[in-house]
Amino acid sequence: MEPMSRPDAFRVGQLNEYIKMLLEGNPNLNDIWVQGEISGAKLYSSGHLYFSLKDTDSVISAVMFKGSMMRMEFDPENGMKVLAHGRVSAYPPRGQYQFIADRMIPDGAGALAVAFEQLKARLSAEGLFDPARKRPLPAHPRRIGVVTSPSGAAVHDIIRVAKKRCPSTEILIFPSLVQGAEAPTYLRGGIQYFNAVKDDPEQGVDLIIIGRGGGSAEDLWGFNDERLARAIAMSEIPVVSAVGHEVDFTICDFVADLRAATPSAAAELSLPDKGDLNRQVSALAARLSAAQATRLKRYRTRLDQLTASRVLTSPEGVWRLRRETVAGLEKRLSLAVSRHLVSKRQTMERVVASLGALNPLSVLGRGYALVQSEEGRVIPSAAELKAGERVNLRFSDGTARATIEDTET
């Protein structure tokens, strides 16, 4: 039998490519969430995660590529129930369709608890929960930014407490989803917005409160987002986390500058009480009044002392006393000057007497004469003279010229 040929027949590769095109071209399969349990998970050195999603009835092959894995906030484990977002595609070489996941969140209390502890340990190791990096809240915030649902009970609780405690403080609301897969994006946007306008005179806030009312672990999971935690850690404005009730803890609670058990408690911790402020003002006013009274009393006493002083009550007596004092000082000064002059005169007389005793003219005055050559050189010895040499004879009252006739030694 001759082989039959059909020009309209698909080759296997063409069929698989066509099936892939149909799957990827279907809008109902390009943006879906799939609920299931992870099994057969294997992370390759390329960074891609290959696994299966299964339930009690069926199983589907799945893959999460490296780029999506790098954004994961927990480590997928076998047996963990998850909600995976992605699209359906096909792998033509094998003729198999598969689910390509680009995002994954835990589903169920057990999976949520595992993911929570994984993220908590990782961020704690990075120091995001370190008490040393937490900033004090402003004592008197003029404006507070609240990131929460505008229709939830949390925002009403915060506004109610704020009006009661400190009506002058403004409250700005950043509307946000507080539940569901998109909630972290909105919550993070609120933190980033208030930081972006922190210097704006109309929009800038001194403090941020982020939170919502209580709920299940699934309801609160948006506040366990890693990117939201990092946005809070990077905030230049102090952040108060107010998520759920007292028994509920989220990653936001650990990374925020202060954790409040409820939104109402957050408002109470963030705002001073007007009654306390009034009492503080009254106490300060009383202290100021007492200080002023004490100072006035001290000044009045000093004024009374000055008024009673002799310089005001008897200025003539003071002038007379000062004149007597000046006269006494003048007398003492005159006596001191006289004594000083006498002492100096006696010293000078002793010096003059000493100089007189050393004066060679005094010796000449007793009958001696000084022999000098015509050039004025003193001739101390007869041996230095020669017959016929002319010399000068110096007496106490004058000089005489002489000629040497002869010398004898």
The answer to whether domain 12-106 has CATH 3.40.605.10 is no
Q: Rounded to an integer, what distance in angstroms lies between the CA atom of residue 237 and that of residue 228?
A: 15
In the numeric block, which tokens belong to residue 97? Answer: 């369709």
Q: Tens digit of pLDDT per residue, the chain (409 long)?
A: 555 667 778 888 888 888 888 888 888 888 899 988 888 889 999 999 999 998 888 889 999 999 998 888 778 888 888 889 999 988 888 888 899 999 888 887 677 778 888 888 989 999 999 999 999 999 899 999 999 999 888 999 999 999 999 888 999 999 999 998 889 999 999 999 999 999 999 999 999 999 998 888 778 888 999 999 999 999 999 999 999 766 668 999 999 999 998 999 999 999 988 776 677 777 888 889 888 888 988 888 888 887 777 666 777 777 777 888 888 888 899 889 988 998 999 899 888 888 776 766 666 666 677 888 888 888 888 787 888 888 888 877 788 888 888 887 7
CATH superfamily of 125-272: Response regulator (3.40.50.2300)
Token duo for residue 309: 């002083």
pTM: 0.54
Enter the DSSP assignment of 182: T
Measured CA to CA, the distance from residue 216 to residue 122 in angstroms comes to 23
Helix (H), strand (E) at residue 186: helix 183-196
The ranges assigned to domains in the chain are 12-106, 125-272, 275-306, 362-403
Contacts for 338 with CB less than 8 Å, ≥ 6 apart:
none
Backbone φ, ψ for residue 285 (5° rounding): -65, -40
Of 151, 269, 255, 153, the closest CA to residue 214 belongs to 153
> Do 12-106 and 125-272 share a fold?
no
